[in-house]
Amino acid sequence: MKSLIIMILILLGCLNAALAYEEISGKVTSVVDGNTLEVVSKDKQLYKLRLAGIDSPELTQEYGGEAKELLEKLVLEKEVSVKIMGKDRWGRYLAEILIDGKTDPRVELLKRGLAWTAEKSPLPVLEGYRVKAQQKGKGLWKQSEPTPPWIYRRQQTMLQPKSI
């Protein structure tokens, strides 16, 4: 009986792992900012996606417009494959995207100094690109101490009037 329970638990664990990622393919229909875009899947479903593992400057921050422009140049109106990895607190899907099965726009944004790696638990594979861009003084790394977007968002929230 004990071995049967263990086997069932193992099978459930394998099933959860298999369902952890959803893969779709579709066409990028819009770019919202440097790390958010919309994809219409082959079955005509609209997905609002946030690139997992990076955070680009907000549009109202220096280099925010450049990050959006680069992402548009890389993905807009192109067919992409998408690996959905979950959702953020705003309901956007967190995703890895590949263009033509090989180009990862996150890497391109990091290489050009137009994104940070995630605030919490940065992915080592992406962190190396950020470090190289910072060492070379590319993009936002031309500034001595650029403000990360997560700090900028918190500062903007604190400036909002509080309602009673």
Catalytic residue among 22, 38, 50, 153: 50
Catalytic residue among 23, 38, 58, 112: 58
Q: Is 58 a catalytic residue?
A: yes
Catalytic residue among 69, 77, 92, 130: 92
Closest CA to 114 of 31, 153, 57, 72: 57
Q: Are strands 22-33 and 93-99 parallel, antiparallel or unpaired?
A: unpaired
Give catalytic residue positions: 50, 58, 92
